[in-house]
Amino acid sequence: MGKLFTIAENTFIETLRQPVYSIIIIAALLLIIISPSIAMYTMSDDNKLLREIGLSTLFLTSLFVAIFSASGAVAEELQNKTITTVLTKPVQRPIFIIAKFLGVLAAVVLAHYICTIALLMAIRHGVLQTASDTHDWTVISAAAVVVLTVLLLSTFFNYAYDWKFMSTAIVLAAIFATFAIVFLIFIDRTWTFNPQENGINTLDVYGSVLLLLAAMIIAALAVALSARFNIVVTLSVCIGIFILGLISDYTFAELAKTELWAKICYFVLPNLQIFWISDAIYEGGKVPLKYLMISASYALCYTTAMLALAIASFQRRQVG
């Protein structure tokens, strides 16, 4: 277990220090911040479009973080020959694969968590649909305090202790964003203690959890592919499976009734559509907790299968 956690921790830290990891998070946060302004030009309910944009951004952010992080977790070590040093400790190959996945998953969860809090703040602020609408200054003030505190502390730690600026900023952002969202849960837009009118919808939280489960599946798939292929092939296959997983119900469901190949594709490919509940949120429907548990069971089973496939394929891989 000590080797497992050590490799997972190193993978987590290495992922945080990758430039593409920070770029994806910053781009997602900027898009979420400007989404209330983008959504105000619809002819119907602007806040519904705000949720649609926010959940789509969150979905793509977590998936791209999972793909880029997991695809390089094993492939780069194979390419740089550093894996030979690790395996001669000795570290069993199944432990190595599982530890790599856990490290990548921790980085995905961190990025997803930060973007989820930003999305909840954007939804709490809402869209200014009329000229009489006012800004939610509690949300704006809380976000400004988080940004300024993170920048100042990251600069200080970088100068005084030579800590990496971006990785430190991401960890601090998760910590202070937690304080901010807890503050907003209890304080309404008039700076009054009013938890009943905090503007945070449980369905939005459910939607975020389901999207994280989809990202977990893609991360396991990327680890399985990177155990045998290089980064380019892994990225291409993961993006292709991601697209097919989103349209699985429309592409293979009907054909599966008559065609064997469609039936195989329908059961083998991950059905990512079950993790997308934007339609239910958009139409004001209800998502029971039972649906969340069933989706989590499906994601856990598929992730376990992908990790088993990764271990089986990596067992015979020449690394010397």
Q: What is the pLDDT of residues 226-283, one digit of tens each?
A: 878 777 888 888 889 888 888 888 888 778 778 888 888 888 889 998 998 877 776 7
Residue 93 covered by a domain: yes
Q: What percent of the chain has pLDDT above 70?
A: 91
Residue 178 covered by a domain: no
Beta bridge partners of 54: none
Question: DSSP letters along 16-41, please?
Answer: HT-HHHHHHHHHHHHHHHHHHHHGGG
Residue 161 covered by a domain: no
Q: How far apart are CA 56 and CA 54, in angstroms?
A: 5
Q: How far apart are CA 145 and CA 141, in angstroms?
A: 6
| 85 contacts 7 by C-beta, under 8 angstroms | no
pLDDT band for 168, please (50, 70, 90 cuts): very high
Question: Which pLDDT value is given to residue 319?
Answer: 65
Question: Which pLDDT value is given to residue 70?
Answer: 81
Ramachandran quadrant class, 199 (left: phi over 0; alpha: psi -120 to 50; beta: rest): left
Residue 29 covered by a domain: yes
Backbone angles phi, psi at 259, to 5 degrees: -110, 130
Residue 193 covered by a domain: no
Question: Which pLDDT value is given to residue 300?
Answer: 96
pLDDT band for 84, please (50, 70, 90 cuts): low
| 169 contacts 25 by C-beta, under 8 angstroms | no
Supply the range of the domain harboring residue 27.
Answer: 2-146+202-315
Domains in the chain, number: 1
pLDDT band for 88, please (50, 70, 90 cuts): low
Residue 175 covered by a domain: no
Collapsing DSSP states into helix, strand and coil, what is residue 148? helix
Residue 295 covered by a domain: yes
Residue 177 covered by a domain: no
